[in-house]
């Protein structure tokens, strides 16, 4: 494994105060970068001062979107240690995404060392207030200047860091979600289970249209029958119906969320009945009508757990749990953030400490 070269920044940028923290607007002093060429493979891993990228305008990333990314967070513990939450799962998913996008695999051990080294160097940027963290964004871009539609011969793997506050302005308060009946995020055989730019580009329009009506996110249905629940915005989604917690099964078009997997593990640990299966909006609607829809919430790295207070579907409004955060959502949020920040025991060994 090639050693990571470090060039330190000569100055340090000013850090945002807690009340200035937004999501993904401010970046730390350093970044990681590594190059790929067909001749050399992945090479020259290095940490350099945060700086612009210089790319030929014909680079494949600008035209054919050959790119993947990951998202994870570093958390400050009460005794000022820095923790990562299940980062090895992100590195595995990064390579699954790479495979779907014809991008050469990255050594997961090196990628994780890149993250820990970079976060260690910018440790002072990890914010300490409740609900804040240092967001870590690894991504790969295709850099060959070529306009033919073909996998690139050159790539860059880059990691940037951003101190962040809550993803939704609502925080752990319930959000309103509109079920999307026209636009489709992804379909089986497409790129829905990869973390790649096109899935997000595709979602902007639907999101913009519902935002005008006061909804925080859309709930995506399957692209074939537009009946079955897929995801919420950029999160996985869970429903608690008559005591059972249900989340859509991984079907090829749904992203395999690290938080989703952790939620399932925690619920099983707590002996809740959990199902990964197909669930239709009709079923959710019927459950609500019969008073059996007890909770609904999204899960994701950015928002952790985001309770859903209201769903709009074909002109019908489905109120969930009287518009309040449910018990399971609250318990999951408290436990997950507790484990992530070292305020609770970590029975699953999900976190690692950064030296």
* Contact status, residue 107 vs residue 42, Cβ threshold 8 Å: yes
* Contact status, residue 252 vs residue 282, Cβ threshold 8 Å: no
Using CA atoms, how far apart are residues 296 and 47, in angstroms rounded to an integer?
Answer: 42
* Contact status, residue 58 vs residue 48, Cβ threshold 8 Å: no
Is 14 a binding residue for a copy of itself by CB under 8 A? The answer is no
Q: Look up tokens 């992945």; give the residue.
A: 42
Using CA atoms, how far apart are residues 100 and 194, in angstroms rounded to an integer?
Answer: 7
For residue 340, give both structure tokens. Answer: 């992530």
Nearer to a copy of itself, 217 or 312 (CB): 217
Nearer to a copy of itself, 114 or 141 (CB): 141
Q: Among 48-56, 123-131, 269-277, 331-339, which window interacts with a copy of itself (CB under 8 A)?
A: 48-56
Nearer to a copy of itself, 3 or 182 (CB): 182
Residues 105-164 touching a copy of itself, rule: CB under 8 A, are: 135, 137, 139, 141, 145-151, 158, 160, 162
For residue 43, give both structure tokens. Answer: 């090479």
Binding mask 51-70 for a copy of itself (x = CB under 8 A): xxxxxxxx--xxxxxxx-x-
Instruction: Please select the residue that binds a copy of itself; options are 101, 219, 237, 329, rule is CB under 8 A.
Output: 101
* Contact status, residue 31 vs residue 136, Cβ threshold 8 Å: no
The distance from CA 341 to its chain's CA centroid, rounded to whole angstroms, is: 18
Instruction: Please select the residue that binds a copy of itself; options are 207, 259, 301, 335, rule is CB under 8 A.
Output: 207
Which positions touch a copy of itself (CB under 8 A)?
22-25, 27, 31, 50-58, 61-67, 69, 100-102, 135, 137, 139, 141, 145-151, 158, 160, 162, 167, 182-191, 196-205, 207-208, 223-224, 226, 233-234
């Amino acid at each position: 494994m090639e050693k990571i070269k470090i060039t330190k920044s000569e100055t340090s940028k000013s850090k945002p105060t807690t009340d200035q923290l937004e999501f993904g607007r401010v970046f730390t002093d350093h970044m990681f970068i590594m190059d790929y060429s067909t001749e050399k493979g992945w090479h020259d891993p290095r940490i350099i001062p945060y700086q612009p990228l210089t790319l030929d305008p014909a680079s494949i990333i600008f035209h054919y979107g050959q790119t993947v990314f990951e998202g994870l967070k570093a958390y400050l513990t009460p005794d000022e240690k820095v923790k990562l939450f299940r980062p090895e799962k992100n590195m595995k998913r990064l390579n699954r995404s790479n495979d779907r996008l014809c991008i050469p695999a990255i050594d997961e051990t090196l990628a994780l060392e890149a993250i820990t080294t970079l976060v260690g160097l910018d440790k002072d940027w990890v914010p300490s207030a409740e609900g804040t963290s240092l967001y870590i964004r690894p991504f790969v871009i295709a850099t060959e200047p070529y306009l033919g539609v073909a996998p690139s011969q050159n790539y860059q793997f880059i990691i940037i860091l951003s101190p962040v506050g809550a993803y939704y302005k609502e925080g752990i308060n319930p959000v309103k979600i509109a079920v999307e009946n026209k636009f489709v995020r992804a379909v089986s055989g497409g790129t829905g289970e990869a973390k790649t730019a096109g899935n997000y580009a595709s979602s902007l329009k639907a999101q913009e249209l519902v935002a005008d009506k006061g909804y925080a996110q859309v709930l995506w249905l399957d692209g074939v029958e537009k009946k079955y629940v897929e995801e919420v915005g950029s999160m996985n989604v869970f429903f608690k119906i008559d005591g059972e917690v249900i989340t859509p099964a991984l079907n090829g078009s749904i992203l395999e969320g690290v938080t989703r997997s952790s939620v399932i593990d925690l619920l099983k640990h707590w002996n809740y009945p959990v199902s990964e299966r197909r669930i239709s909006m009709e079923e959710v609607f019927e459950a609500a009508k019969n008073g059996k829809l007890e909770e609904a919430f999204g899960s994701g790295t950015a928002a952790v757990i985001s309770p859903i207070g209201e769903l709009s579907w074909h002109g019908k409004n489905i109120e969930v749990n009287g518009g309040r955060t449910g018990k399971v959502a609250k318990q999951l949020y408290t436990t997950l953030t507790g484990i992530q920040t070292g305020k609770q025991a970590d029975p699953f060994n999900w976190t690692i400490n950064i030296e």
